Chain A
């Protein structure tokens, strides 16, 4: 197992998010207030000191406002010289007197500006940086970096090779947590570093032609169960976020260390490689405290976080790198198609729930072992969807990568009385009784054979009134294939001569939020040899099937995606189901027969529609 790589990043944010509203209680807004600027710089100095005391180097991401502050510039130069810290440039922290006077706006999220403004701001801050330091930065970032922004930066400032480019699963859930006032809709991206494609920054590049030229890192390393389920901002490698989640008692927070360690454990599934990123904005360490956490606890948490990383480094288990060093390391360590895998367990709620996340340039998927190995989240990265964001586009704020399956936004297995939710599972049928594997809780074991990452699930028992079936599921992700293979094998039956039916199915739709989209552009297809049947989605609840079908598919023009199921199994029959207004989904599936020892195999295939 290699050492876990750590990127520790600090930003001298002269007007920290949150801090102005908190320190300025009862005062009219004044972002040039001297006390605010002084406190902000003090926090940056404290963070730097804590890192250095623990033997860690940092990436100093200068904010636009800090480039106007001589002390901040001087500190960055000193720390670069003394500790080897990288001097980089963030596109966070734009708000300051100079920015507001020049751009006449309170917008501060770079991806939400018009493309023209993005370019103007980028040139402005990069040139200001050059003026201060005499060189252009190698690293940059924001909470999110859209493809057009990255492409422009790389084209104009080719020195840039690394960027913070997304907050994992920060979308509608974060919006709701902030009482619908925090507009970071960034769901659907990778949770670990990746090389963004030129077409869509969420989707990793599949080859050199698609390579945007940078290595992207996520903003924080986030809990792959807790963040997906709840408020993402409570469950990451951000000590004060852990306090925000109230995940501590008596000033202790073992969860933070468990989280770091579970990321270290991921080396087992990624050819020895694992990664962490910690990036705490100064607003989280202001002297007034943060919500119910007093400053002393905020300070202690950050100090303890740095100390734990420092301890791991001393024990030879961690290597701290600057962002640009990491970009070089990543390109040496990984190739384009090598997936990122995470076999992740619940470390907070005591449920023993286990999921598996897979991400490559074609697919991002989540398999939920608590639901028998059902796929509960699916993003068609193969489509590299053209999705410009910002003012002047169709998506001013919504930068999320669309899903086909999302069990939280589209119900999953359980629905209320009617309709269906999105999930990819299977049902076993015998004498009129039906059992969905979503109700068979199990655990998975990971193996790698060549280019295949294989999840072998512990067998589950399915009890019918007159028959018990022991069934094993094996799920295979073949690198670069843009498909997922599901093998269902009956390994034991109470009546060895019995036969059961299987219904392999996928309920899906498309979207980025909880709310339904227009399904009428979709087309469903079934085909065998030269026979092909098509159905335009019209919410009419229609179904069709075909014995021995070669495939069953749906074409989704709004997300430029074609999804299909193919099958190898006895007495296979392909089918599709059109949804209806109360259940705006489509279903693709195959039915067939299984006896003891037999296997029924299906593939879920993703393609770019055009």
Chain B
């Protein structure tokens, strides 16, 4: 088995990201999977992208644009 490397992009572990940890994952080309050396997450690129989207659950206002007058409005 050859050593692992990096994939096309340098994906972080989505599971660690959700606990505020930025950890590079490594890529096992024989299994076509990324894996985390900090936790037990493994997944292919599709799964990583899905989990990254899941990580955004907390950003409820991520797509909202505030106007200057909005910063002290709380009744919406």
Residue ranges of A at the interface with B (Cβ–Cβ < 8 Å): 22, 25-26, 173, 176-179, 230-231, 244, 246-249, 252, 254-255, 257-258, 261-262, 264-265, 288-294, 343, 345-350, 352, 354, 443, 445
Contacts and interface: CB of A to CB of B under 8 A. Distances in A.
Contacts, number: 97
Contacts of B24: 291
B68 A246 contact: no
Contact of A348 (B11, B23, B38, B59): B59
18 contacts: A25-B5, A173-B20, A176-B21, A177-B20, A179-B23, A246-B17, A248-B62, A254-B64, A258-B66, A261-B71, A291-B9, A291-B22, A343-B72, A345-B71, A347-B61, A350-B64, A352-B74, A445-B72
B5 A257 contact: no
B1 interface: no
Contact of B10 (A262, A288, A347): A288
B68 A350 contact: no
A567 B25 CA distance: 56
Given A177-B21, A292-B12, A350 B60 contact: yes
A347 B72 CA distance: 11
B2 interface: no
A176 B60 contact: no
A264 B70 CA distance: 13
Given A230-B20, A347-B66, A294 B59 contact: no
Contacts of A22: 10
A264 B12 CA distance: 33
A249 B10 contact: no
Interface string B48-61: 10001001101111
B48 to A, nearest CB: 8
Interface in B1-49: 5-6, 9-12, 17, 20-24, 38, 48
B16 to A, nearest CB: 8
A262 B64 CA distance: 13
Contacts of A354: 74
Contacts of B66: 258, 261-262, 347
B63 A289 contact: no
B11 to A, nearest CB: 5
B56 A246 contact: yes
A349 B57 CA distance: 9
Nearest to A25: B6
A306 B61 CA distance: 23
A255 B60 CA distance: 11
Which of A22, A246, A354 is most buried by chain B, counting CB atoms within 10 A of its CB?
A246
B59 A247 contact: yes
